[in-house]
Structure 1
């Protein structure tokens, strides 16, 4: 296929997203106030609790079987790689840009967590509908493309509300801690000047002090293997408890994640599938109704994305070099590394040679930061205005960047 033709195919879905997002931004202006602050909150709740779960459950139930599930095992690994590499690059950006302490979690989160939900669900089916798409029949491509994108949304939600949530929470906790005054009423110079580094291993491994089981002043003497086993089990239980306290488990098991589990169960358990999915199924009207509700997710999310950019237009004290660094990580370094990683997976036969599946894997490296990062900064009160500026510039440039990388990815998977 000609490169120009691929660019047209890739540009059309991005242009649709840009137009709908621009409408959302227009509706958020104070003169109209159709998508004002309160309206956005209620719309977000509707998308989070109703539209997205319906979209995820209906598409996964329709397309995922036991055999197809076994071919998707590399997607969780691929998404985890994007988070790990993005975190490392974000930490490096913090050191090079000498960013303030209260922005550490925001920068690492913006570099590591991409918009794995709404944008793939918007872009992939739109490319399937374009004439000349390299993914075959539009109907089949759209069905499987939505399934892959829904699985991406569910996995991204789990990592977002565990890994990224904990990093931003840890960073906000560091900035809220103030040096203690000594007996003379003066701050200790060493404490006030010293900057505590953000330990990227904390979200994965809890420190020994957090999992301590010794009561104050007590000593545990291990006299036998039985007592050692009891102590070890108590330590594990304590670590799990501490991790649960520091992780937003309610958001971790979000409605989309639960919907993904339900969708997998319906798709892979033949009695449930025959009851709900097949055209002659007794309860196929339930599946059709859920799918109809899920279709409202894409336009609603796009309008909200545009409306959320309004705060970024008002500006903040965010340094330009930090914003440019985040854009370089998300739009240059990660997409290039993604090509190497996916090509390596193909070489070692870790993934099936399915152009649509490979395109979704590659697309996960070229997405702008997740919008939920803004929710987390609001939750902890750290870097809200700076987050709005990051979202404004990354999403404003996403139209050109996604069109470019989608063209490159289409060329790679079609050749």
Structure 2
């Protein structure tokens, strides 16, 4: 594949996202008023409970079988590694940039969660159609590409709604608690008409045996322990996660698959209906992203260095580390080197822009929507260049 051909392949899916986002932005204008704040909130709920689960369940049921899953077992580990490294880098970025408290969860989430579903489902099969593709026959490549991308989307959804969801939720709840405490204190001061009491001198004493410096591993351990204590484990069984389990069950259990998958299957109308609903997930989510962008363009407190840090994390540090990790997996033999399409997907998972579902989460909790839209604008605009350049390097590696 030449540079121009690859540029077109990488540009088209990202350009689609940007164009649909512009439609959402236009619909959110005050004089149009088709996608105001209330409308976005309700549409978010529909995407969360109906569209996204339908998309995941229908694709997995149709493309993933028990035999194919046995050959792809490293993909869940690979995606988990991207989330963990991204989360650590996001936490370090928060410590360096010191953003407002309500943005901490958003920053960690944007660094941690990549777009593991929407873009791969568009990008990977499109590469199969290009002349000079190293992935073999077009029809066979497209079938496997859809299967791999669907599995990537399902696994990414599980990690996203079990980890990033809780990170953003905890961050939003901490901000809400602080606001309530401030309001409660101000009410008490007004009622008592007294100055707030200063802490007594004993509280100000610094004990010589107290730890003034805590090592980085200890801090990380404390953060993980705090997160696990506050995490809402019910979110692990979010609608998208339940849909993934359902899709795996249908695809891997042969009698159920024969009953529901294929034109001759007695209950194929059920899967076809779910697929039809799922097709609405990507444009609906992208329209919401564009609508949220309108408020972000009017003014946001997010720092430029925060945006730069997220972009560097997702488009420089993670892809470089991904090359080393996938190369190591190939050397050890836990990844089949003859499946070039699978190896390419493992690489590209490290170079994806932030997951668009993060925008849905900020909308659900009412925290950081404006800043999230600005981050997404920069991330998806720069993805045109980043995905093209990294795709060229990854294709050279697998070929």
TM range (shorter): 0.7 to 0.9
Unaligned 5+ segments in structure 1 are 208-241
CA distance 1:170–1:265, shift in 2 (3 Å): closer
The correspondence of residues 174-189 of structure 1 with structure 2, limited to 5 A, is 174-175=174-175, 176-177=177-178, 185-186=197-198
| Displacement after TM superposition at 1:141 (Å) | 3.3
Preserved CA contact (<8 Å) 2:116 2:152 = yes
Partner of 1:154: 154
Task: Specify whether residues 289 and 384 from structure 1 end up closer, same or farther in structure 2 by C-alpha distance, changes over 3 A only.
Answer: closer
Deviation at 1:125, TM superposition (A): 3.4
Q: Is the 8 A contact 1:21 1:305 kept in 2?
A: yes
Runs of 5+ unmatched residues, structure 2: 190-194, 205-211
Contact 1:14 1:402 in 2 (8 A): no
Give the 3 Å change call, closer, same or farther, for CA 289–137 of structure 1 in structure 2.
farther
Q: How does 1:389-408 map to 2 (within 5 A)?
A: 389-408=374-393
User: Which secondary structure state, in structure 1, belongs to the residue aligned with residue 300 of structure 2?
Assistant: coil
Equivalent of 2:327 in 343, 360, 371: 343
Between 317-326 and 252-261, report the one with greater CA deviation.
252-261
Give me the whole-angstrom Cα distance separating, in 1, the residues matched to 2:200 and 2:28.
47
Q: Which structure 2 residues correspond to residues 260-275 of structure 1 after superposition, within 5 A?
A: 260-275=244-259
Measured after TM superposition, the shift of residue 129 of structure 1 is 4.7
Q: Distance in 1 between matches of 2:138 and 2:200?
A: 67
| Greater percentage in helix | 2
**TM-score using structure 2 length:** 0.81
**Are the counterparts in 1 of residues 60 and 244 from structure 2 also a CA contact under 8 Å?**
yes
Provide the C-alpha distance between the structure 1 equivalents of 2:137 and 2:40, rounded to a whole number of angstroms: 37
Structure 1's 303 and 103: CA in aligned 2 closer, same or farther, altered over 3 A?
A: closer
SS in 2 for 1:291: helix
Q: CA deviation at 1:278?
A: 4.0
Which range moved further: 268-277 or 149-158?
149-158
* Pairwise CA RMSD: 3.4
Q: CA deviation at 1:398?
A: 2.4
- Cα-to-partner distance string for 1:139-197 (whole Å, 9 max, x where unaligned): 4433332332222222222222322233334444555446999x971268989xx9x99
Rounded Cα–Cα distance in structure 2 between residues aligned with 1:349 and 1:392: 39
State the 1:199 CA deviation.
Answer: 5.0
- How far is 1:279 from its partner? 4.1
Q: What CA deviation, in whole Å up to 9, does each residue of 1:275-323 have, x standing for no partner?
A: 2224433333333333333333333333333333222212212111111
Q: Which residue of the partner structure matches residue 281 of structure 2?
A: 297
* 1:313/1:392 contact within 8 Å kept: no
Counterpart Cα distance in 2 of 1:109 and 1:379: 15
